[in-house]
Structure 1
Amino acid sequence: MNKASSLFWPALVTPKNAIVKQTEQLSRSQKLLTELGLVKPGCNGTYQIMPIAQRAVDKCINLVQRNMQEAGGQKISMPVLTPTQLWKKTGRLEGDISEFYMVRDRSGKQFLMSPTHEEAVTAMLATTAPISYRQLPLRLYQIGPKFRDELKSRFGLMRAKEFLMKDMYTFDVTKEAAEKTYARISNTYAQFFRQLEVPFVTVEAATGIMGGSLSHEYHYISPVGEDTLLKCNNCGYAGNVEVFGNTSANTCPSCQGSQLIPVRGVEVAHTFLLGDKYSKPLGATFLNTSGKPETLVMGCYGIGITRVIAAALEVLSTEQELRWPKLLAPYDVCLIGPKQGSKEQVPAEGVEIELLQQLTQICGAEELLHDDRKELTIGKRLFDAKRLGHPLTIVVGTKAVQKEEPKLELHLSGAEKLELELPEVLSLVTAHVRHKQQLLQESATNEQDIAQLRTQGRTLS
C-alpha cells in the first residue's frame, strides 16, 4: 500500500507575503505540476519527473504498449545515437536540422541524438539477412527519450528539449498493403485517445521534413496550442493550416464549403505514410514470391508520451486543481483518516483499518494511497488531495463514528462532496474500477478503410 508519509513529494512552499516574479508564460498544467512537486525543472527545457507523476507516465506507457501490441506491434530498442552518415544518404542532413543535437566521439565521427529513428531502423533492416515477403508486414515500435533543441521550450512537458516518445515503424510489400497498415494503426490511435476520454481531433497534416505521401496529426484543443487548425462545421474535415499552402484557407478542401473555424491545438501524435523515402536510398528490401528483391514500403507513427499527459491535464484541469484521465491518474483512491489526538481518533481508526482492507480488495493495494500524515488536519490533507486530482478521496472523520447512520465523506474529482454510508462508498469505488476495465476492454472497431481516411485527408496517392 502507498503511504503519503513515505512519498517523495517536493511541493513548492511560497510564503504568504512573498512576491513571485513571473519570468515566463506558464501553462496551467506546468504551473500545477511544478507547484505540487510532481515535476521539477532541470536545466532549460528539461524536467525531472517525481514519483507521483512517474506513476502516470508508467500507466501511459502501459496503455500505449497494450494498443501497439493489439495492432501487431513488436517492441524493440534503438540506440539514441544515429550516425549522421545515414541522414546524408536519405538527404535529410541537408534540410533544416537546426533543432537537432549533434555530438562527436573521440575519433571525430559525428552522431545525431536522434529526434526520430527512420534512418536507423531502416538501416537495421537493410543489414539483416534477406527478409521474406512471408515475414511482412513488420510493425516495430520503441518507447524512449527523444531530443530536440527547441528554440522556445515552454509550457513544461508540452514543449521540452528532452521528452518521452513512442515511435513505430512499419514495413509492407506494396503501397496498397502499406495503406491498410496506415488505416489499422490510425484506428488504433483513435482507440487509444478514446480510452483517455479527452476530446481530440484528427487533422490532415503536412509531411514536412519526414516526407511521404500522407500525414495526420492528433490534437488536443487548447489556447496554449502552437498549431492553428481549421475545422469544417459542414463535413467534419479538419486540417493543420500548413496543408493549405497558398490556397484559400476559407474553403474546405473536402466539401468546398466555407464553414472553416480556426482553433488552437496541441499536437500529441503524428502518423506518416512514407513509401520508399528511406528504404530505397538505404537499400532495405525483401524477397518477393519469385525470390527477387523489392524495396520495402514504410510508415511511421509517433505518440508523445509525456506530452499526452501534460496536454490532457491542460485540457481537463482547473487553475487550482489537477484533473486526470481515469486511466492515467496516479492513484484511484486516496483515504484520509482522523487527525492524531482528536477525540474521534480511536474509534475512527477502526473504521479506517476496515476500509483499507476492503478498498485493497476492490481496487488493489497499488491503486490506493493512504494519507497517513495524521499530524496534519483533515482539512489540510483534503486540500492536497483535491489539488492532486485523485479520482476518489474518502475521509473518515467525526461522522464516521456517530451512533446513528455513520457517514463517510466521498470527494469525486471536480464534484461536490457526498456523505454516504460505507456500502455506498464501496459501491462507487467498484463502479470506478469497473469503468476503467471497460475502457481497457474497448477494442478497435473494424479497420478503417481508405474512404474513411479521406474524410480527414484529401489523397492517398
Structure 2
Amino acid sequence: MSSMACRRRIFLKICQNPSFCSTQCYASRSFTTETCNSPETNTDGAQKHQYNYTGRRYVSKMYQNLGNIYPESSKLVCQSHKLFLYANIIQQCHVGGYNLLPLGQRVQDKLVKIIDQELERIGCQKMSMTTLAPAKFWKKTGRWDAMGNELFRLTDRKRIEFCLGPTHEEVITNILATGPLLSYKRLPMKMYQITRKFRDENSPKYGFLRSREFDMKDLYTFDASLEEATETYHTVCTAYKQILDRLGLDYDIVTGSTGNIGGSISHEFQIRADIGEDTIHVCKKCGFGANAETTEAKNKICSENPCELSVSSSIEVGHSFLLGTKYSEHFAAKCINKDANKNLYQMGCYGLGVSRIMQACVEVLSTEKKIVWPQLLAPYQFCIIPLESKRECLSIAESLSDELNKRSGLSGEVVIDDRDKKVTFRLFGAKAIGYPYIITVKDKALQDNAEFEVINTRNDDSTFMTLDQIMDMASTIQTV
C-alpha cells in the first residue's frame, strides 16, 4: 500500500470504502469518482467509465469569487452591498434588480427554513399567490391610484390591466371572500407566502436594502372579532421576535406608520445601522420606541419630561399591521361569529423582508473586507484548504470532508478549496465569503499525530486540533 493511502487510512479510514483508490483522487475533484468495475468500451475503442456522485464540493467547480478585486475606490457607500458584490453573493442585472447567485441562494434558503419553522409553530399555512394581480382588485380598495408610481402596471393583449404584486392584501381577501363561509370555530386563519415582490423605486440603491424586486414573506390573518385579531397580532409578533433572536440580531420594535396598508396598530422591527434610511426614537429605560415619522415619536420628543431617548438610523426588516375590516368590507369577506351571525373578517397582515434581512445581517455584523453571517445562515460551515504543493494534503482534505459530512446536521456543509493557489490567497477569499470555520491541511497533517489549523473567522482565533477534536467541535455546531 502506498504511503498516501496509508495516511488516509490512519486519519479517516478512507480505504475502507472500495469506491476510492489512490489512482482516482483526481477524478473525484470534479464531484465524481470512477468506479473500480470493468469499463465499457465506446464505439471508437476508447474506454467509457461509470461515474458516481461523491457529495464533495470543490471551490474549483463552484460559482463564487475566483479572483474579484475588492472595490476599494468604488462609489458604493454601503458596506454590505460591496461585500455582496465582491463575494459573488449577488450580481447586478439592472438598476434595482439583482441576480441571487448560488452562495446567496443557500443563505436565503436557510433563512426561509427558519421563517417556515417559526410560523408553522403558531399554526400558519404556507401558500403561493399569483404575481400578476388584477387591477380590479386594487381599484376596489382605492390603492390602484393611491400607490402612485411605485406600482408596476401592465396590460395584457386583451387590454385587461394588472400589476406586479408589491403586496397581496387584495388577492388574499378575495380568496376568503369567494371561498367557503367559515365558522369562528375554524379561525384564526393564518396564511403566508414567500415570493418575489416588485416596487418601482424612484431611487433604488444599497442592493437589497432598496431594490425594485425583492423576496418578502407576507402573512395574512383572519379572525371573527377584534379581540381575537389582537391576540393573533401579538402571537405573530412573538414569532417574529423568535426568528430574529435565532439569528442573534440586536433589534428594536417600534411603533410604525400604517401608510397605504392601513389599519389601527402598526409595529416595525428595526435593526440599527448607519446606512439605514429610517430614523427611530427608542428609550431602553421605559420601553418606548417609535419611527420618527409617527405622531407618537413627535409627541414624545415634545413632552415636558422626555425619557432618555436615543435617535438612530435603522433598517426596517419587518412590519405588522392590525387591519381591522379595511379590506374585508370592500370584498364582503365574512365569517360566522359566535352569535351565528355573518360579520366581516378582522384582518392582520405581517411582512418580513427576506432578502433585506439577509443583507442587514451582513451590514451590522461584518467588517470592511470580511462577511460575518449569523451562524445559522452561513452558506457552508466549513472550508478546507489543503497545501497546494503536496498531493497528500488534498487527499486528507477530501477524507476530512467526508467525515464532517457524516456528522448530524453537517451534510452538505463543507467545501474544499482545491485551487492551485497559495494558502494565504485562499484564506483571504474564504474569510471574505464568511465561512464560519476554515481548516488548513499542511505539513502537520502528514505527521503521525496529525494536527490541523482551525480558524474561527468570526474572531480570527486560530487553534491546532487533532481529528477527534475537530469532530468534537463540529458536534456543537447548530444548523437548519
Task: Report TM bin, short chain.
Answer: 0.7 to 0.9
What SS does structure 2 have at the residue aligned with 1:280?
helix
Distance in structure 1 (CA, Å) of the matches to 2:343 and 2:199: 34
Q: Bigger CA drift: 207-216 or 243-252?
A: 243-252
Matched, 1:171 2:222: yes
- 1:84-123 equivalence runs, <5 A: 84-123=135-174
CA contact (8 A) 1:332 1:367 kept: yes
Q: What's the counterpart of residue 283 of structure 2?
A: 232
Distance in structure 2 (CA, Å) of the matches to 1:378 and 1:41: 30
Matched, 1:61 2:112: yes
Specify which of 403, 417, 424 is matched with residue 462 of structure 2: 417
What SS does structure 2 have at the residue aligned with 1:302?
strand
Matched, 1:25 2:76: yes
**5+ unaligned residues in a row in structure 1: which ranges?**
441-461
CA contact (8 A) 2:398 2:416 kept: no
Q: What's the counterpart of residue 318 of structure 2?
A: 269
Q: Which has the higher contact order (CA 8 A, sep 6+)?
A: 1
Specify which of 254, 257, 266 is matched with residue 203 of structure 1: 254
Matched, 1:309 2:358: yes
Larger radius of gyration: 2
- 1:121-270 equivalence runs, <5 A: 121-244=172-295, 247-251=298-302, 257-270=306-319
Count of residues in Structure 1 that have an aligned counterpart in Structure 2: 423
What SS does structure 1 have at the residue aligned with 2:400?
helix
CA contact (8 A) 1:133 1:173 kept: yes
What SS does structure 2 have at the residue aligned with 1:327?
helix
Q: Bigger CA drift: 294-303 or 100-109?
A: 100-109
The residue type paired with residue 464 of structure 2 is: E
The residue type paired with residue 414 of structure 2 is: L
Give the percent of matched residue pairs that are identical in Structure 1 and Structure 2: 33
Distance in structure 2 (CA, Å) of the matches to 1:74 and 1:234: 37
- Deviation at residue 429 of structure 1 after TM alignment: 1.8
**5+ unaligned residues in a row in structure 2: which ranges?**
1-55
CA deviation string 1:143-196 (max 9, x = no partner): 100000111111111111000000000000000000010010000000000000
The residue type paired with residue 356 of structure 1 is: S
What SS does structure 2 have at the residue aligned with 1:29?
helix
- Deviation at residue 353 of structure 1 after TM alignment: 4.0
Q: Bigger CA drift: 90-99 or 70-79?
A: 90-99
The residue type paired with residue 109 of structure 1 is: I
What SS does structure 2 have at the residue aligned with 1:150?
coil
- Deviation at residue 368 of structure 1 after TM alignment: 1.2
Could you state the TM-score of these two structures normalised by the residue count of structure 2? 0.84
Q: What's the counterpart of residue 414 of structure 2?
A: 368
What SS does structure 2 have at the residue aligned with 1:211?
coil
- 1:61-80 equivalence runs, <5 A: 61-80=112-131
Judged with a 3 Å threshold, the aligned counterparts in structure 2 of structure 1 residues 252 and 52 are, in CA distance, closer, same or farther, namely farther
Distance in structure 2 (CA, Å) of the matches to 1:20 and 1:208: 39
Distance in structure 1 (CA, Å) of the matches to 2:471 and 2:199: 47
Specify which of 415, 422, 430 is matched with residue 377 of structure 1: 422
Matched, 1:323 2:372: yes
Q: What's the counterpart of residue 58 of structure 2?
A: 3
The residue type paired with residue 205 of structure 1 is: G
CA deviation string 1:176-221 (max 9, x = no partner): 0000100100000000000000111111111111110100111111
Distance in structure 1 (CA, Å) of the matches to 2:145 and 2:265: 22
Judged with a 3 Å threshold, the aligned counterparts in structure 2 of structure 1 residues 10 and 406 are, in CA distance, closer, same or farther, namely closer
Judged with a 3 Å threshold, the aligned counterparts in structure 2 of structure 1 residues 145 and 136 are, in CA distance, closer, same or farther, namely same
Could you state the TM-score of these two structures normalised by the residue count of structure 1? 0.87
Specify which of 47, 52, 62 is matched with residue 98 of structure 2: 47
- Deviation at residue 392 of structure 1 after TM alignment: 0.8
